[in-house]
């Protein structure tokens, strides 16, 4: 089992930052629609004999960052729940609006690397509050605020149920990872701009 801090560090590098996620959030499906679908995840998706890489390839046609930690049962289950949400649009019925898009893989990684290390996905299936947290997390990173909620309200409601915030040690470690990832992103952006400026002046 991977160390929770290592998983959160991987997520910090992958995520691009919560401010950006909230800035791009547009009206999406309801929390209830996503939570209900989570509660109905088929056992076949949770079967640990199924390769996460293969499952992501079949459903997303793209790799997941979470696949690097596939041996961690929490990560695998968290990603599997996210992949079920995506696959269910074709197997059950589409959400309104549909969730498939540019940020879908990021949302699956959010469940696997941001939430699963803090709250085992088995609790998402048995505990209403944790299921709502998973639904809200998925919606945010998929590029949505829940239908009927503006960004400020949606952010407050997600923060109110955030399990990571309740775990002080992990929250402190995550904040450190997130800060370092933000600095790395800013340095990379500055390098890209400098290279572009040099190229255009030649």
Q: What is the mean pLDDT of residues 152-173?
A: 80
Token duo for residue 21 = 């996620």
Contact assessment for residue 101 and residue 143, using Cβ atoms and an 8 Å cutoff:
yes
Mean per-residue pLDDT for 162-180? 65
Give the pLDDT score at 37. 97
Closest CA to 132 of 143, 142, 146: 146
**Does the structure show a pLDDT above 90 at 30?**
yes
Residue whose C-alpha is closest to residue 100's, from 112, 90, 114, 92: 90
Please check whether residue 67 is in contact with residue 52, taking contact to mean a CB–CB distance below 8 angstroms: yes
Better pLDDT: 91 or 191: 91
Percentage of the chain modeled with pLDDT above 70 = 85
Residue positions counted in the chain: 202
Average pLDDT, the chain: 88
83 vs 1, which has greater pLDDT?
83
Tokens 């009927």 sit on residue: 148
Mean pLDDT on 62-77: 93
pLDDT bucket at 2, cuts 50 / 70 / 90: low
Choice among 3-7, 24-28, 115-119 with the minimum mean pLDDT: 3-7
Report whether 112 contacts 53 (CB < 8 A).
no
């Amino acid at each position: 089992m991977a160390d929770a801090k290592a998983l959160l560090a991987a997520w910090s590098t992958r995520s691009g930052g919560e401010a950006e996620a909230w800035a791009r959030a547009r009206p999406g499906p309801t929390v209830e629609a996503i939570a209900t679908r989570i509660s109905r995840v088929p056992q076949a998706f949770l079967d640990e004999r199924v390769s996460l890489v293969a499952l992501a390839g079949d459903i997303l046609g793209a790799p997941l960052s979470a696949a690097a930690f596939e041996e961690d049962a929490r990560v695998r289950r968290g990603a599997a729940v996210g992949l079920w949400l995506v696959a269910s649009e074709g197997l059950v019925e589409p959400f309104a609006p549909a969730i498939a898009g540019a940020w879908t893989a990021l949302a699956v990684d959010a469940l696997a690397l941001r939430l699963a290390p803090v709250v085992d996905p088995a609790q998402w299936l048995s505990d209403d509050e944790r299921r709502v947290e998973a639904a809200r997390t998925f919606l945010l990173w998929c590029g949505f605020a829940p239908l009927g909620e503006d960004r400020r309200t949606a952010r407050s409601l997600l923060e109110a149920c955030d399990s990571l915030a309740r775990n002080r040690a992990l929250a402190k470690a995550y904040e450190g990872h997130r800060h370092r990832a933000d600095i790395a992103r800013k340095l990379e952006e500055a390098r890209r701009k400098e290279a572009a400026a040099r190229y255009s002046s030649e």
